A and B are shown apart, each in its own frame.
Chain A
C-alpha cells in the first residue's frame, strides 16, 4: 500500500505493507543506509531514528503507526545539539567499527536536546539501550560531555 512519510524535511510516498518496520522502509525503500539493522527486537539501538525529535527504535516502529510524524535519520541531522554531538564524536574519535554509532549519535542528540548538561549517571541511564560491541562506552560518555560543553560555549 502507498504510505506518505515525512522524512528529513521532505515528503515521500512509498509502497510498503502494513507491519513493515520503519527500519526496512528507510533502508531498503528509501535507500538511506545510515540507520542500521542490528537485532530487529529493539535490544541494541543501532536502528535509532527520531520521530518528532524523540529517539525511537525503527525496527519496532511499524510503518502504519508513523502517521504525520517527522522522521529524522542520521542523514537528516542538523540541529545545534546534533552538530555538537557529531563534532564531539570526531574530536574524541569515539568510533571503532562504527556500525552502532548512527544509533548512538541519534540517542545522544535526543539526550542533549532534552537535557543539555547531563550527569554521568544520566548519560549512562539514557544510553543504556544502545549497545556497542566494540565497547566505545568510555568515549561515548566523554563525547557527550564534550558536546554539552560545545553547546554551552
Chain B
C-alpha cells in the first residue's frame, strides 16, 4: 500500500503530558526544528491512554455524519489491539501546526474534499502502532519477558504467564523513547479495518437525544443573537428602528454590525431574538447592492458559452478541434444550465463565543475548518490567534456549508460578541430562512458541448465550454486567486477526465456571481459529472452503441485510473441488472471519478414525465480504495446519491432584483422518504489507500437519473428537472 505521508522519522512518539497520561502523536515535518525535544505540548496526540486504562482517540476531523469519529477511532483501535468498545474519542482542539490536513498542503486544519480518511489513515495507524509498541516495551521491562512474547488483546497485555491492563504500564511507557518506525499490522491481520460489523461510535447519543450540537449550547447568562442581514449582496444598513421590538419580553438591544451587512439583535433566548428581529424596521442602502435576477445570470452564462472562452483550460487548439467536429459524420451538441443551490444542512448555522479567563475566547461550533474561524475571530476581536480556542461539537450536517472563505457565521458571532462588554456568552442562531437566503451557494454554471463522431461512432472531437461563478475568485472575480486564472473547481470532472477523449478542447469563462458562492457537496463535479455523463449517453446513442459498452471503449488504457473506473462501471452494470429492467421500468447509468474515488450508478425509474416518474431503485458500485468501515461507506453513498438526486429533481435558488426568492423547506423542498426507493451499494474490494466517500456518490446520481428519463422522455439539460417538464410521482 502506498501511504500518503512518508514514514520518515518524524514520529515523535511517546511522551508524558503528565505522569498519568500517555500521549502518542506525530509532529508534522518542519515543526521538529522549532520545538525542543522535551516540550511535550508540541506533540499532537492522536491517542491518549490514562493509567485507568481509558483509551481516547483524538479526532482531527469534524463529524457531520460522514463518519470520521468512527473511522479514525477504528485505526487507533486496530493497531493498538483493542476492541471498539474499549476506546472513546474526542474532537481535537484547534492547532493547525499539529492537526493540519495533509491533503490541504499541511497548513490548514480542516475537513473537506472528502479527505478525512485519506489524510488520517497513515497518521492514526502509526500513532496506534507506536502506542502499542511502547506499552509492550514497558510491560517487557516490568515482567522481564521479551516483547516478542507479549500480546495486546482487548486492552489487556499478556505473555510469559503475566496479564495486566494497558493502564498498568502507562506511567512506565511515558518514560520510554517512542519507537521511530513502529510495525504496522499486515492488512491480512485486520480485525476492525474493513469489518462490516463495526458500528458507528456516534449512534447511541444520536438516538437518545444526548448528542451535543452547537445548537444545544446553553451557557449561563448567554445572549442569543439573530441577525437581520442585507437581502442583496453588497447592501448595507442605512438606518434601523427597533421600537417595535421594545415590548418583546427578552429583547435586549439591537446594533448595526461593524461591516454594516446587517443588524444584530440580542435577546435572552432564541424565540425572543427571532421575534425582535421580525419587529425591526431596517432601511437598506442598496447603492452598491446586487440587482440582477436569475434570468439575467442565465443569459450571461449562456452568452459566455457561446463566445470564445477566456481561458483555454486544456491548452489544445480550439480551431483544430472545431474543424474536426465540423467534418464529423455525427455531431452531438447540447447546452446545459445549473442553478444556484443551497446546502441546507438540517442544523441551521449556529455558534457560541464565550470569554476565557486568560482574556481570550472559546468558540463552540460544529467547526469544519478550525483554521479559518480561529484567524477570523482573532482578527475581529484583536486577539492573538492562540487566544481563540475552539470546542468542536457535532455538526448537524454541512455538505460544505460550514466552511466558507471568510468564515461567515463565525465572523458574525465575533462581530456580535465584540460589540458587547464580553461578560455574557453570545450564541448566534440562524433560522432556516437565514440559511436558505444566506448565500454561499453552489454557483450557477452553463456548459456547451459539441462532440463529433466518425463513421464508426468513435469520438474525434470534443469542444467543451464552461461558464460559471468561480468559488476561488469570489464576488470580485479576482483572477489572481486561481493558478493561471483557472479555478480548478470550475472544471474538475471535465478537465481532467479519466476518459480517453481524442481532440478535446476545454474552455472556461468566469461570470461575476450575484450572490456569494461556495463549495457544495462534490463542488465542480455537481455539474461537470452531469454534463460528461449526459454527453456520453448522447454520444453512445449517436454511435448506435450501448451506453456501458461505449464508455468502456473510452477506458481501455493500461492505467490504474481507467481500470478502476471501468471496473466500477462493469460492477454496477452487473449488480444493477443493466439492460434487463423490469417491464415498465427504464434504466440510466453514469460513472464519475471524484476525490480519488470511482463511483458508478444505475438509476431505475417507472412512470413517465407527464404522469409522474418514480425512482424505484438505485444501484451503486464504489471503489474508494480500502473501505475502512464498509457500512459507513455504504451510508455515504446512499447519502450522496439522495443528495444529488433530490436537488436535481426540484431545487434551485433564484433571484429577483438581487433578492433570493426561496425561504424555507416549503419552497426549497428536501428529498423525502417517499421520493426514493432502495439504494443498494456494492463496494469493490481494494487494497489501495482509502479515498473519499463523503462526496463521490453525488456526481453520478443526477446524470444517471437524467439518462433514465431520456430513455423515453426528454433530455434534461436545464436543472432542476421539474422546471424542464418532468413530473415526479
A131-B665, A139-B635 in contact; A33/B206 too (CB < 8 A)? no
Beta-carbon contact of A28 and B209 below 8 Å: no
The reply to whether the CB of A41 lies closer than 8 angstroms to some CB of chain B is: yes
How far is A80 from B67 in the complex, measured between Cα atoms in Å?
Answer: 30
A43-B665, A127-B673 in contact; A93/B212 too (CB < 8 A)? no
Contacts of B208 in A (CB 8 A): 34, 74-75, 77, 86
Contact mask for chain B residues 183-202; partner A; CB cutoff 8 A; 1 contact, 0 none: 00000000000000001101
The reply to whether the CB of A79 lies closer than 8 angstroms to some CB of chain B is: no
A43-B666, A135-B671 in contact; A96/B639 too (CB < 8 A)? yes
**Which of B167-175, B344-352, B547-555 binds A?**
B344-352
Q: Contact partner of A39 among B210, B216, B635, B665, CB < 8 A?
A: B665
Q: Contact partner of A97 among B65, B210, B646, B666, CB < 8 A?
A: B65
The reply to whether the CB of B422 lies closer than 8 angstroms to some CB of chain A is: no
Known: A37-B215, A94-B203, A101-B206. 18 other contacts (CB 8 A): A27-B270, A32-B209, A38-B432, A44-B670, A89-B207, A95-B203, A97-B64, A97-B345, A97-B398, A98-B205, A99-B213, A100-B396, A123-B673, A128-B673, A131-B671, A132-B670, A136-B638, A138-B678
Q: Contact partner of B209 among A34, A90, A124, A128, CB < 8 A?
A: A34
User: Which single residue of chain B is at the shortest CB-CB distance from A121?
Assistant: B674
Within 8 A of B (CB), among A8-66: 17, 20-21, 24, 27-29, 31-41, 43-44, 46
> What distance in Å separates the Cβ of B190 from its nearest Cβ neighbour in chain A?
20
Beta-carbon contact of A105 and B635 below 8 Å: no
Beta-carbon contact of B207 and A135 below 8 Å: no
Contacts of B674 in A (CB 8 A): 124-125, 128
Beta-carbon contact of B209 and A102 below 8 Å: yes
A37-B270, A93-B631 in contact; A137/B206 too (CB < 8 A)? no
Within 8 A of B (CB), among A126-146: 127-128, 130-141
The reply to whether the CB of A148 lies closer than 8 angstroms to some CB of chain B is: no
A43-B664, A136-B639 in contact; A37/B348 too (CB < 8 A)? yes
Contacts of A128 in B (CB 8 A): 672-674
> What distance in Å separates the Cβ of A139 from its nearest Cβ neighbour in chain B?
7
A-B contact pairs, 24 of them (CB 8 A): A28-B218, A28-B271, A29-B269, A36-B215, A39-B664, A43-B664, A74-B209, A75-B208, A90-B199, A96-B65, A96-B66, A97-B64, A97-B398, A131-B665, A131-B672, A132-B346, A135-B646, A135-B671, A136-B638, A137-B642, A137-B676, A138-B638, A138-B679, A139-B638
Beta-carbon contact of B397 and A99 below 8 Å: yes
The reply to whether the CB of B395 lies closer than 8 angstroms to some CB of chain A is: yes
How far is A96 from B635 in the complex, measured between Cα atoms in Å?
Answer: 8
Instruction: List residues of A whose CB falls within 8 A of some B CB.
Output: 17, 20-21, 24, 27-29, 31-41, 43-44, 46, 73-75, 77, 86, 89-90, 93-102, 105, 123-125, 127-128, 130-141
Per CB-CB distance, the 8 closest pairs between chain A and chain B, nearest first, are: A34-B209, A135-B642, A99-B396, A96-B65, A98-B206, A97-B65, A74-B209, A33-B216
How far is A16 from B396 in the complex, measured between Cα atoms in Å?
Answer: 27
User: Which single residue of chain A is at the shortest CB-CB distance from B678?
Assistant: A138
> What distance in Å separates the Cβ of B486 from its nearest Cβ neighbour in chain A?
32
How far is A137 from B674 in the complex, measured between Cα atoms in Å?
Answer: 9
Beta-carbon contact of B270 and A28 below 8 Å: yes
Beta-carbon contact of B673 and A95 below 8 Å: no
Contacts of B481 in A (CB 8 A): none
The reply to whether the CB of B337 lies closer than 8 angstroms to some CB of chain A is: no
Contacts of B670 in A (CB 8 A): 44, 131-133
Beta-carbon contact of A95 and B641 below 8 Å: no
How far is A99 from B216 in the complex, measured between Cα atoms in Å?
Answer: 11
Beta-carbon contact of A73 and B397 below 8 Å: no
Q: Contact partner of A24 among B269, B643, B672, CB < 8 A?
A: B269
The reply to whether the CB of B431 lies closer than 8 angstroms to some CB of chain A is: yes
How far is A125 from B63 in the complex, measured between Cα atoms in Å?
Answer: 30
Beta-carbon contact of A39 and B432 below 8 Å: yes
Within 8 A of A (CB), among B372-416: 394-399
Contact mask for chain B residues 275-292; partner A; CB cutoff 8 A; 1 contact, 0 none: 000000000000000000
> What distance in Å separates the Cβ of A30 from its nearest Cβ neighbour in chain B?
10
Contacts of B348 in A (CB 8 A): 37-38
> What distance in Å separates the Cβ of A150 from its nearest Cβ neighbour in chain B?
14
Beta-carbon contact of A31 and B643 below 8 Å: no
Beta-carbon contact of A28 and B269 below 8 Å: yes
A90-B203, A97-B64 in contact; A131/B346 too (CB < 8 A)? yes
User: Which single residue of chain B is at the shortest CB-CB distance from A38?
Assistant: B346
Beta-carbon contact of A98 and B216 below 8 Å: no
User: Which single residue of chain A is at the shortest CB-CB distance from B204?
Assistant: A90
User: Which single residue of chain A is at the shortest CB-CB distance from B432?
Assistant: A39
Contacts of B207 in A (CB 8 A): 86, 89-90, 94-95, 101, 105
> What distance in Å separates the Cβ of A83 from its nearest Cβ neighbour in chain B?
11
A46-B346, A97-B394 in contact; A134/B218 too (CB < 8 A)? no
> What distance in Å separates the Cβ of A25 from its nearest Cβ neighbour in chain B?
8
> What distance in Å separates the Cβ of B366 from its nearest Cβ neighbour in chain A?
9
Contacts of A34 in B (CB 8 A): 208-210
Contacts of B64 in A (CB 8 A): 97
How far is A146 from B271 in the complex, measured between Cα atoms in Å?
Answer: 38
Beta-carbon contact of A98 and B202 below 8 Å: yes
Contacts of A141 in B (CB 8 A): 673
User: Which single residue of chain B is at the shortest CB-CB distance from A23?
Assistant: B271
Contacts of B209 in A (CB 8 A): 32-35, 73-75, 102
Beta-carbon contact of B199 and A93 below 8 Å: yes
How far is A54 from B113 in the complex, measured between Cα atoms in Å?
Answer: 42
Beta-carbon contact of A133 and B394 below 8 Å: no
User: Which single residue of chain A is at the shortest CB-CB distance from B677?
Assistant: A138
Beta-carbon contact of A140 and B673 below 8 Å: yes
How far is A99 from B642 in the complex, measured between Cα atoms in Å?
Answer: 17
Q: Contact partner of B432 among A27, A40, A102, CB < 8 A?
A: A40
A46-B346, A127-B673 in contact; A134/B65 too (CB < 8 A)? yes
